[in-house]
Amino acid sequence: MESNLTLEIVKHIFSSLGLINEYAVSKSILEKDFLLPERMQIVFDEKEYSNKVRGVKILMPSNNYLTVLASKGKYDSGITDHIIIVQLNDSPAYGCSLTLCDGEEPLAKVCYAFEEIWVECDTTQKAKLLLGMEQVKEVGFGWKQATDYKDKYNLLVSFARHIAELDSDEG
């Protein structure tokens, strides 16, 4: 049950950012305006991939800025990975991942960064993240390309490594 709830929360968050096409949104983080110069270097099935990174800075109704960095990877084996980092000003960062594989159930994870360690969120934390991300749909006009995001990029790389370690432990 928990994994189904996590999957639905992640799909909803990714849809609100325009990462997946669950429903129409006014803006998508995949737009070329949000492309950053950094790349995510991923080794998958003994082959190296260089995935694009996109980033947005969104002015929220609370007058705080929400920064979101996203990376999407498509691999020869039919697997697609979506990974995001979400952080509101100096609040803890959240990481969400969605792995889609042809003919298999999607896998989703939601974690938060605690002193450079990724910890899986409980149901209450996931619900709070979802509630906060609901506001993104309402303020679609306030999106700008992310600036001053190096720390978030490092978190994105760290989270991708964390997810890869979890996947190798489960596999």
**Backbone angle region of 102, left / alpha / beta, with phi > 0 → left and psi within -120 to 50 → alpha:** beta
Contact status, residue 10 vs residue 98, Cβ threshold 8 Å = yes
Residue 18: predicted pLDDT: 86
* Ranges of each domain in the chain: 2-170
Question: C-alpha distances in angstroms, 2 versus 6, 24, 42, 123, 159?
Answer: 6, 27, 28, 8, 21
59 falls in which pLDDT band (50, 70, 90)? confident
The model's pLDDT over 26-44, given as tens digits with 9 standing for 90+, comes to 778 899 999 999 999 887 7
pTM of the model: 0.89
60-100 confidence digits (pLDDT tens): 877 888 999 999 988 777 788 899 999 988 789 999 999 88
Burial class of residue 104 in the structure, from the number of CB atoms within 10 Å of its CB (0-12 exposed, 13-18 middle, 19+ buried): exposed
Please state, in angstroms and rounded to a whole number, the distance separating the CA atoms of residues 100 and 52: 18
pLDDT of residue 24: 58
Per-residue pLDDT tens over the stretch 98-147: 988 888 889 999 999 998 899 999 999 999 999 888 877 776 667 899 99
In DSSP terms, 151 is beta-bridged to: none
What pLDDT, on the 0 to 100 scale, is given for residue 133? Answer: 87
Q: What confidence score (pLDDT) does residue 168 get? A: 63
Read off φ and ψ for residue 24, nearest 5 degrees. Answer: -75, 140
* Rounded CA separation 96/163 (Å): 9
Structure-token pair, residue 81: 């990975």
